């Protein structure tokens, strides 16, 4: 409930009071990116401690994973910024993936749904 209250304060959802109350989106799903939601709940996306703040750690000058991880963060952020809540609701029909040891994966429509 605290997350929904926070999202309401941030303008993403609005509350309905009463017996049939609950929450609904306060603006169209097409205008809300996943990055908006992640940042509203968790703050700016950070993969490493050094990407969380502007102060370099003691290993900053010799760190060999910092730049690759920052590139990963940038790519994740791009996907989150360009994916909307509306797109998340447009999922394809469920599929069943079967993997046999030593064989290729097989993908088929899931039945019974």
pLDDT tens, residue by residue, 68-93: 888 888 899 999 999 999 888 776 65
pLDDT tens, residue by residue, 19-77: 878 889 999 999 999 999 999 999 888 887 776 666 667 777 788 888 888 888 889 99
**What's the CATH number of domain 1-89, 3.40.50.720, 1.10.460.10, 1.10.10.10, 3.40.50.150?**
1.10.10.10
Q: How does DSSP assign the chain, residue by residue?
A: -HHHHHHHHTTSEEEE-STT-EEEESS-GGG-BHHHHHHHHH-S--SSGGGTSSS--TTTTT-SSHHHHHHHHHHHHHHHHH-BHHHHTTPPPPEEEEE-TTS-EEEEEPS--
The structure's pTM equals: 0.67
Domain extents for the chain?
A: 1-89
């Amino acid at each position: 409930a605290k997350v929904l209250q926070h999202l309401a304060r941030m303008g993403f959802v609005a509350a309905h009071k009463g017996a049939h109350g609950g929450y609904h989106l306060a603006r169209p799903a097409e205008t809300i990116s996943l990055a908006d939601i992640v940042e509203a709940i968790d703050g700016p996306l950070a993969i490493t401690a050094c990407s969380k703040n502007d102060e370099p750690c003691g290993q900053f000058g010799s760190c060999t994973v910092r730049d690759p991880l920052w590139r990963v963060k940038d790519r994740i952020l791009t996907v989150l910024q360009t994916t909307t809540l509306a797109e998340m609701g447009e999922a394809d029909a469920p599929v069943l993936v079967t993997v046999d040891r030593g064989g290729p994966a097989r993908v088929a429509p899931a039945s019974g749904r």
